[in-house]
A and B are shown apart, each in its own frame.
Chain A
């Protein structure tokens, strides 16, 4: 690695525990509704989402000077990309909320 090299880190994360898996009764109750194919996170899934956000934000080997749209160096993560499904958006939310200046 040369001195003028830049480093980029990409974290790829699967959404957290699904509500329809967590509680089969929820799946039955939502059969045929818009929720059936777009299940939210389960309670465990929300906890997992918070934990994965903490893991990413504590990744000290991620170069904060890697760039970003405004050259911001206070962020560990410069872009958060999510599938448009509810469970992935919910999984990404804790990272967004906490991705600020320490």
Chain B
């Protein structure tokens, strides 16, 4: 087992590798540098096989786990990753705005994300700071459009790790709409992977024709 402590905060991540992978020290080194070393992000997809068995254990990861933005059409809740298998520690005082109904109909996707967008706007008003939201294809598209007022039909497809960047300005206490300043950007990615881009309205291949 390799344990590495980050320099700048109390969080640490443990990497556990099977013995056989120690035959590939370069790949292991690349994997570690990708995740931990500032300004030393990998520019390739070399450490492919390492990540098969990579296991994070972080004790001070204060992510805000938000049920309202989980995958559309889920038939059951996701496992609780705060348990022993993946001990991410969320902010203890953060509670999800709401939890979607499992087995929701597709016609309920957009209204649910509209509700989530409204809740997030209330929780993170102007002046509360910048926010990064990690979610799934349909929720990403609907959150971006609900927050900006843009018709979802004209947004870009949502590729894995694509970025929708929204920005707004105004006096404290106001709640101006967001403007989409980057729609589905993928210029930062060196690899697109095998997970296809999605669009909540258009079939992706139709969209590209």
Residues on A lying within 8 angstroms of B by beta carbon are 1-2, 4-18, 21-22, 34, 37-38, 41-56, 59, 62-63, 66-69, 75-86, 88-98, 100-102
Given contacts A55-B188, A85-B70, contact A48 B160 (CB under 8 A): yes
Asked whether any CB of chain A lies closer than 8 Å to the CB of B84, the reply is: no
CA gap between A55 and B20 in the complex, in Å: 33
- Is B13 located at the chain interface by the 8 A CB criterion? yes
Say whether A93 contacts B58, CB under 8 Å: yes
Tell me if A's interface is mostly helix, strand, loop or mixed: mixed
**Docked complex Cα distance between A11 and B173 (Å):** 21
**Count of chain B residues near A, Cβ 8 A:** 88
12 of the cross-chain contacts (CB-CB < 8 Å) are: A2-B171, A8-B131, A12-B135, A12-B164, A13-B164, A37-B74, A42-B51, A50-B35, A54-B188, A68-B130, A82-B135, A92-B132
- 4 A-B pairs closest in CB distance: A78-B129, A17-B193, A55-B188, A68-B129
Give the chain A neighbours of B163 by CB distance below 8 A: 11-13, 52, 55-56
Q: Is the CB of A86 within 8 A of B63?
A: no
Residue among A12, A52, A92 with the most chain B CB within 10 A?
Answer: A12
B69 touches A45 (CB 8 A): no
